[in-house]
Amino acid sequence: MFLSTRELESQPLRFEFSYPVGKFVFDQPGRKEGIRQSEPVAVNGSAELESSVGDIRVRGHIKTTLETECVKCLEKAAIHVDSDFDLVYLPVGVEPDRGDKEINDKDAEVGFYEGNGLELQNVIEEFLILAVPMRPVCKEDCRGLCPVCGMNLNETECNCQPEELDPRWSGLEAIKAPILKL
């Protein structure tokens, strides 16, 4: 759905969509590799023109599940997204005499658009990408892989005895190591 400024000039637009699985393809080089859409993306909300210079405000609610790899055990990690969004897009090239106050007063996130409007799907895509944590995990207490044998410690106990190092000492260990080798 294209949110054109011309249409928004006359009235705000309401939207309610369900984008089927496969509509969003994040898993591309240079984008967000390893992320897949595993449920339809349900979104509803509204878009309106916020000011005479053409700020487009898009807000609503989005719900879906994405899937990626757990950084600890490399199994699947589900990312449940069920949240409100409130985004303001400013037209590129309109120099703000407006003072930033107008926007800072609100809780909205700010982006930019070019031309005569913006594509809702791109707005949603951007929001979803930002919803993926930097270090996704399959579960809060994922035990990860054994550093010695590589077994998934969520599924099995191995008999390896990795030298447990208090992580607080690991920096020190790195300093000490070359000396110990002498």
Q: Is 43 in the site for Zn ion (CB under 5 A)?
A: no
Which of these ranges, 15-23, 41-49, 94-102, 155-163, lies near Zn ion under the rule CB under 5 A?
A: 155-163
Q: Rule CB under 5 A: is residue 71 a binding residue for Zn ion?
A: no
Measured between alpha carbons, how far is 110 from 123 in angstroms, rounded to an integer?
A: 11
**R_g of the chain, CA atoms, integer Å:** 23
Of 8, 41, 62, 138, which lies in the binding site for Zn ion, with binding defined by CB under 5 A?
138
Number of H helices, E strands in the chain: 4, 8
Alpha-carbon distance 25 to 129, whole Å? 11
Exposure b/e, 119-152, CB count within 10 A at least 16 = b: ebbebbbebbeebbeeebbbeeebeebbeeeeeb
Q: Which stretch binds Zn ion (CB under 5 A): 42-50, 102-110, 125-133, 147-155?
A: 147-155
Among 94, 160, 165, 172, binds Zn ion (CB under 5 A): 160
Please list the helix, strand and coil fractions of the chain in percent, rounded to the nearest 5, in that order: 20, 35, 45
Which one among 130, 149, 165, 172 touches Zn ion, defined by CB under 5 A? 149
The Cα–Cα gap between 85 and 60 comes to 5
CB 3 within 8 A of CB 117: yes
Report in angstroms how near the CB of residue 138 gets to Zn ion at its nearest. Answer: 3
| The binder of Zn ion chosen from 72, 103, 127, 136 (CB under 5 A) | 72
Quick one: which of 1, 21, 94, 148 contacts Zn ion (CB under 5 A)?
148
**Rule CB under 5 A: is residue 145 a binding residue for Zn ion?**
no
Range 46-55 burial, b when 16+ CB lie within 10 A, else e: ebebbeeebb
Q: Does 123 bind Zn ion (CB under 5 A)?
A: no
Instruction: Please report whether residue 110 would count as binding Zn ion according to CB under 5 A.
Output: no
Nearer to Zn ion, 28 or 156 (CB): 156
- The residue among 107 and 141 lying less far from Zn ion, judged by its C-beta, is 141
| Phi, psi (degrees; rounded to nearest 5) at 99 | 75, 140
25 belongs to the binding site for Zn ion (CB under 5 A): no
Give me the residues that bind Zn ion (CB under 5 A), please. Answer: 70, 72-73, 138, 142, 146, 148-149, 158, 160
